Amino acid sequence: MNLMTAAKAAYGAGKIAQDESYRNKMVGILAAIALLAVLGFLLLGMCISAVLSGMVNLSTGFKSGTASNIAKAEIPSELMPVFVNAQEKFGVSWAILAAIAKTETDFGKNIKVSSAGAIGFMQFMPATWQAYKQDGDGDGICDPSNAWDAIYSAANYLQASGFEKNPSNAIYAYNHDWGYVNTILTIASGYSATMVPTGNGIWPLPGYLNITSDFGYRPHPIKKKRLFHEGIDIGAPQGTPIVAAADGRVTMAKYYGGYGLCVQVLTKDCLNVYGHMSGFAVREGQNVRAGQVIGYVGSTGSSTAPHLHFGVYVNNSPCNPKEWLKIESGNR
């Protein structure tokens, strides 16, 4: 072999080795890209699942307040009393029950056995129906196609599934799909924007019934523009004792911005806010009983005269205190 032939052979061997190395590198790169893609899809799925379940995760049970115009337009008028009565009997939001009825059978317009075997007005699986069926209309028969029976049975099932502690999980138990939970909560929020605690609170200023500013939008007395008022203002003389509306634990007792001297009490189903006090009768971390004096009426913070600002929050959303409080005669 002459020098030229040897050089060509060496070059060819080197070229083959180089090509093999290049192919190996490309295979490695493509494998890495494929692995990253798979991991990316898995991570995306986990993120979507986490966001979705987090988005619909409500931490405490609730009732629903006033029906919206959407509810009045969509829900047959003869069914509204059924949903509301079921709410009162089982402590489950009437708007949630109505949203399920809308989703499952369009309020009874499409009652048929589903592909999975679900039956009736609220689409129960037969075994679940047998376990939770109710005679809602009192005729002695439990009929899954009867609106009263089916709605009461759905409320009974949601209550048994822990609606009072975690509504999202209870709705999930009904259909086992977080997308379904999100759909139900979205429809329900359109039927009634107000969440109301499942219990009832006592009037925080016994003997003083004058609501000087109501829940909802109003001209702000200091900022002079239309703002949402997340509670009610009750007028009373400086120093009037303020009592806890429900049993709970004091989570705040301090000066708190526009609320001035403010006490917050976390109850079993909501957060109560008492603002503009002149002084405290409790401390943070203390347990209180309904009717116990927690502070005194004042005009601290953004206030123009002595009064109590009283707010109620369910799942971090403000609700109308008048729909929860046992309001003394003459206040409505």
Q: What is the pLDDT of residues 18-69, one digit of tens each?
A: 556 656 666 666 665 755 554 444 444 444 343 333 445 676 888 898 899 9
Q: What is the pLDDT of residues 94-105, one digit of tens each?
A: 999 999 999 999
Domain 63-193 identical in fold to domain 201-326: no
Q: What is the pLDDT of residues 274-310, one digit of tens each?
A: 999 999 999 999 999 999 999 999 999 999 999 999 9
So where are the chain's domains? 1-55, 63-193, 201-326
Q: Are 278 and 261 in contact (CB under 8 A)?
A: yes
- Which residues 6+ apart lie within 8 Å of 9 measured at CB? 1
Class of domain 63-193: mainly alpha
Sign of the torsion angle spanned by Cα atoms 62, 68, 70, 74: positive
- Which residues 6+ apart lie within 8 Å of 162 measured at CB? 169, 170, 173
Please tell me the pTM assigned to this model.
Answer: 0.68
- Which carries the bigger pLDDT value, residue 211 or residue 47? 211
CATH superfamily of 201-326: Glucose Permease (Domain IIA) (2.70.70.10)
Q: Per-residue confidence at 221, pLDDT binned at 50, 70, 90?
A: confident
Q: Considering only CA atoms, which of 58, 21, 47, 66 is closest in space to residue 319? A: 66
Q: Considering only CA atoms, which of 194, 230, 226 is closest in space to residue 214? A: 230
Give the Cα separation of 321 and 332 in Å (integer). Answer: 12
SS3 81: helix
